[in-house]
Structure 1
Amino acid sequence: MTEQDKWLEWAVRLQALAQAGLAYGRDVYDIERFEEIRQIAAEMLVEPSGQPLEVVKELFCKEVGYQTPKLDTRAAIFQDGKILLVQEKDGLWALPGGWCDVDQSVKDNVVKEVKEEAGLDVEVERVVAILDKAKNNPSKSAIRVTKIFLLCRCLGGSFQPNIETVASGYFALDNLPALSLAKNTPEQLALCFEASQAQHWETRFD
């Protein structure tokens, strides 16, 4: 673990403790202390993140209630032995998906995201994996994320360029385009391929 990784881990832990204190604390002096701790945690993140303090605070200090991981849902859709990926505006490719909205279940959210990003109607068949982003993806984040990969079957529809994605295509595992590694890695796509070919599948999880 690098020195920068340690600072990130410490800051995230301080933020979680401070937020829990703000959620459950009742004493006005304790509330002030927890707010100060959260401010210090945000300041600790400025250098490793490369972002101004106000940006860090906007991302890092707006949560309320007990700190829990965010959910990211990703759809694995296959056609002729190839997996569907969508290309984002930065030129990188990913499984269609995104943050789970507060008013959506995991299943409903992935169906919605596929429609928005890939123009397809799908039904969910099985959960491929539930993975901790910090353990499986190279991108570092002050927010803990749980990534849920779901095998889906296409019912119809067609891709149309939209505000999030500019192209879509099906790819073989040995011929993948440049991936957005914060969203999916070759190893995660390989799990999806494996799940799509298995008669019985046991969900992988951290």
Structure 2
Amino acid sequence: MSEPADLVRTAAVRIAALAQDGLTFALGDPAKDYDAARYRELTELAADLLAAVSTSPRDVLRALLDTDVGYATPKVDVRAGVIDDQGRFLLLRERSDGLWSMPGGWADPGDRPAQAAVREVLEETGYPVEVVKVVGVWERDARGKQPPMPVSVFHLYFLCTVSGDRVAASELETLDVGWFGLDELPELSQRRINRWELERMMAHHRDPSLPTEWD
């Protein structure tokens, strides 16, 4: 059974999405100014609910609700599981929290999913890679990522292999880069990845015939 805080957060995310959808169709129509005001009020109520069950400040949560416009849809995050012939993962130490993660991030408009994963690896680690397969399409909340976010997020996980020599990585995004086996993992950035996901990536590396997984 879900915890009360999880139920409140899920409801708040849904309320915020409905308010965003309402604003999308109400703005620009003078006859719907009253509706637009109500949808803005719902957005504020959603922020209040999220703040009540989150450790993040309300103003941060409120700002996140404004990062998307138009009809509300889940955000898309791509992650690249790059594994070498010794069974080690390519991980990077995030500048934002000092913890370790697989290369990845938000897909940009105009990106093809695999193209986004390849770009993220190159920008964050300096390694050119090619995609082998899609391992999983997972929903962030279903995977227990912490802390929770006020928006819905779909993760696309790609198994990749190095395809060339390393070039200099972006100093703006990465503190360090390294190769780690499952038995020697550094402290992971739990908001981005967890051990279960790494284990699933390794399973697909060992047996590429496994079918793609999804929530």
TM-score relative to the length of structure 2: 0.88
Q: Give the residue type in structure 2 aligned to 1:24.
A: F
> Which of 178, 195, 204 is residue 169 of structure 1 equivalent to?
178
Could you report, residue by residue, the CA deviation over 1:1-37 in whole angstroms, capped at 9, with x for unpaired residues? 3332222112111101111111223522222211211
Displacement of 1:52 in angstroms is: 4.0
> Which of 101, 111, 115 is residue 104 of structure 1 equivalent to?
111
Could you report, residue by residue, the CA deviation over 1:158-191 in whole angstroms, capped at 9, with x for unpaired residues? 2546111111111111221111112111110011
Q: Give the residue type in structure 2 aligned to 1:154.
A: V
Aligned residues: 206
Q: Distance in 1 between matches of 2:68 and 2:145?
A: 24
Match of 1:12 in 2: 13
The answer to which of 51-60 and 78-87 deviates more is 51-60
Q: Distance in 1 between matches of 2:11 and 2:98?
A: 33
Q: Distance in 1 between matches of 2:46 and 2:98?
A: 33
Give 3-state SS (helix, strand or coil) of 2:78's partner: strand
| Structure 1 pair 62–191 and aligned structure 2 pair: CA distance change class (3 A) | closer
Q: Give the residue type in structure 1 aligned to 2:179.
A: Y
Match of 2:88 in 1: 82
Q: Give the residue type in structure 2 aligned to 1:73.
A: V
- The residue correspondences of 1:26-65 to structure 2 (distance < 5 A) are 26=29, 27-65=32-70
Q: Give the residue type in structure 1 aligned to 2:38.
A: R
The answer to which of 37-46 and 119-128 deviates more is 37-46
Match of 2:134 in 1: 127
Q: Which runs of 4+ in 1 moved over 4 A?
A: none
Could you report, residue by residue, the CA deviation over 1:88-146 in whole angstroms, capped at 9, with x for unpaired residues? 23331110011111131211111111011110111111101010110003311111111
Q: Distance in 2 between matches of 1:152 and 1:117?
A: 15
Q: Quick check: 1:129–1:203 contact (8 Å CA) kept in 2?
A: yes
Displacement of 1:42 in angstroms is: 1.6
Q: Quick check: 1:137–1:184 contact (8 Å CA) kept in 2?
A: no
Residues 1:145 and 2:153 aligned together: yes
Question: Aligned Cα RMSD in Å?
Answer: 1.7
Query: What are the ranges of 5 or more consecutive residues in structure 1 without an aligned counterpart?
Result: none
> Which of 185, 203, 209 is residue 194 of structure 1 equivalent to?
203
Q: Distance in 2 between matches of 1:61 and 1:23?
A: 12
Could you report, residue by residue, the CA deviation over 1:74-97 in whole angstroms, capped at 9, with x for unpaired residues? 111111221111112333111001
Q: Distance in 2 between matches of 1:155 and 1:74?
A: 17
The structure with more strand, counted as a fraction of residues:
1
Displacement of 1:45 in angstroms is: 2.2
Q: Distance in 1 between matches of 2:185 and 2:55?
A: 30
TM-score relative to the length of structure 1: 0.92
